Structure formats: structure tokens, C-alpha cells
Amino acid sequence: MVLKDIKILHLVNGFDIGGVSQVILELCEATGHELGKVMVASSGGIYEKQLEDMGIEHVKIPDLTERNPIKLAWMCKILKKTMTENGINFIHCHHRMGVLIAKLLLPAEHIIYHNHLVYYDKRMGSRLILPGVNIIAVGEGARNNVTDYFGIKDKGQIQVIRNAVREFDGKQMPVPEILEARKKDKMVVACIARLFPIKGINYFVDAADILVRKGLNICFLIAGDGPLYSELTQYVEQKGLSEHVRFIGFRSDVQSVLSQCDMMVLPSLAEGLPLTPMEAFSVHKPVIATNIDGTKEVVKDHYNGLLAEKKNAEDLARKIELLYADPKLLAKLSENAYESYNREFSFSRFKTEFLHYYEQL
């Protein structure tokens, strides 16, 4: 199929903080000028402005997860009208419920499901709605999740296309907490994530507690926002770590922040193919991460970072201390991190693979 004949509607629940929204933004940037039409339908969020700046039309729809039949009918009416007026012939779904909606509007072969995470819920429902559609998995772990857990047989319709991040533009916005730490000759260790239980931020705080008690001269930085913000800030205060663990809130300039740090820690309990390690690699920073599916496809132990046991603050602390005490190892992992970015996670690779994928449809 000729690329200009493809008119795609990206269907997602919300368009707020999170890796899925970032991937959709990158897809819009990569394909917006190559395809006949690219649109996004969601319940909205802070990234709508970025779509507008790219010239990508956003269509407001109800929350995909609601079970209200009236809202479902209303959503289908909005989507049908949008598709008719814009000649949409493919729906790219970023939510399993979106696939069910899409099947009411288009044949299965014109539907793409993008598996961004490794899921262990809604097994029976997924087994019913996923057969017949085209499936993109962000990594081998996400692919195996579709075939092994959801039981979808791969008849050539499942393809792995890894996430990517844009190249850093070199513009640094100074972070006061980092400037303060550097004046005291502190190493800066960052954890950048949504403040959700699945991100395991409490283990990062516990690791910081261990290392502060050992007298290591480190500033621990937490960038992100979410429902656990108050709980985590109180936890840090209770441990007497407020001078050592600093919260800087949500940052849209993740690469800028990471470029000013020494390393990144990702203590997640589950991931699909996380973007923040790629962002760290793009600015020559190694990553200490939990040894889980998805993450270990990005972070290679003792090559571009270190892997630690899940839910194990002591192991996280050991790995941070290892790089704190060995500047040569830190420098080597940093060099390999940037090499990994150029080889595996660059935006140019991502764009080429997706355009080829759409062309083959």
C-alpha cells in the first residue's frame, strides 16, 4: 500500500503523563508528514498542546474504560463521524478496550493493537478481542505476553518494533537541586517515573536511606508526579532524608535533567519497554534497573548499566555504591549507554521501521 493512501486514527484512553502518550507523540512526528492522514482520539490530557503544535488533529471522546452503554454508543458515533469525514481506513489502538471499539467500526485486518506493557489481567477478555488484528509489541517480553499469557497464535500478524526517543537537543535547563548538590561535590542519582505503586519508588527511597547511613555523598533526585506524591514525601520526611532525597515534580525536559546527573535508577516492578533508560542513554548516562521483563531488553547488566533484584532495596543500594566507588566503571557504562542509544533506540530507526510497517499493511 502507498503510504499516502494510509489514513490512521490513534485510539488511546487518556493523553496525559506516561510512556504511551510519548510513544504516540513520536509516532505522530515520525509519520505525520508521510501518511495521508494522522489523527488522535482520546479523553484528553496535557499533551494535547503538543499535538496541536505538530498539526495533528485531536478528537475528544469519553473514557474508554467506562462500561456505560450510552457513552459507548456516543463514542462510536463520534469516531464513525470522524472516520467518514477524514477517510480513516486504519485504527491504531493503544488500549485493549480500544480494540473492542475499533472492531465495531472496521474489519480486524484494518486494526492495529500496540502492546506497550506486560499485562497480567483481563486474560479472557483479551483472548476474545485480540484475534485477527495486527499486533505490534514493544519488545520480546511484550510479544511473549501476547502469545503465552493471552494465547494469541502468531500467524505473522505480530511484529516487534522497539520504542525510541528523540536525540537530545543539548539545551539544558539548570535544576536548582542539582546545582546545590554539585556545590557540595555530591554525586547525583536520579529516579524519573510516574509516582505509581508499579514504579517501586519506595525501594529507591529505602536504598537512599541505606547509602546515606553509610555516609555516601549522594543527592537522590525524584522527578515525577502521581497519586503517591504525598505518601512518598511523608515517607522521606519520616526517615529524616529530606536533605538527601529531593522531589522536583513532573519534568517535560527529562533528557535535560538526566544530562546533569551521574546515573539513573529505575526500580519498577513491571514494564513493557521503558523509555526513560533510553533517554538516559541518549545523554551518556548508565541505568541501574530491576531485572524484569521489558527493562532487561534495554539495560544490559555490566554493559550499559546494572541490573538489581526486584523489590530489593539492599541490592539497589549495592549497585549504586558500586558505581559511586568505581569512576572507571561508571565512565565505561556511560560510553556504552550512548552506543546502545545510537544502535538500538534512535528516533531515525523508529521512524524507518514504522513507515515500513504501515507500508506493508
In this prediction, residues 335-352 reach a mean pLDDT of 95
Long-range contacts of residues 321-325, Cβ cutoff 8 Å, at least 24 apart: 321/211, 321/214, 321/216, 323/262, 323/263, 323/286, 323/288, 324/187, 324/211, 324/216, 324/218
* pLDDT given for residue 52 in this prediction: 92
* pLDDT given for residue 120 in this prediction: 82
Instruction: Express each pLDDT in 83-137 by its tens digit.
Output: 999 999 999 999 999 999 999 999 999 999 999 988 888 888 889 999 999 999 9
Residue with cell 528523540: 166
- Any alpha helices (H) in 32-122, and if so which ranges? 48-54, 69-86, 96-103
* pLDDT given for residue 190 in this prediction: 98
Question: Does the pLDDT of residue 65 top 90, yes or no?
Answer: no
> Model-level pTM?
0.86
Question: Does the pLDDT of residue 282 top 90, yes or no?
Answer: yes
* pLDDT given for residue 18 in this prediction: 79
* pLDDT given for residue 56 in this prediction: 96
Helix/strand number for the chain, H first, E second: 14, 13
Question: Does the pLDDT of residue 252 top 80, yes or no?
Answer: yes
Instruction: State how far the Cα of 191 lies from the Cα of 207, in Å rounded to an integer.
Output: 12
* pLDDT given for residue 337 in this prediction: 98
Q: In angstroms, how far is CA 131 from the centroid of its own chain?
A: 25
CA distances from 255 to 65, 186, 261, 340, 349 (A): 32, 20, 10, 16, 19
Instruction: Express each pLDDT in 173-195 by its tens digit.
Output: 999 999 999 999 999 999 999 99
- Close Cβ partners of 230 (under 8 Å, ≥ 6 residues apart): none
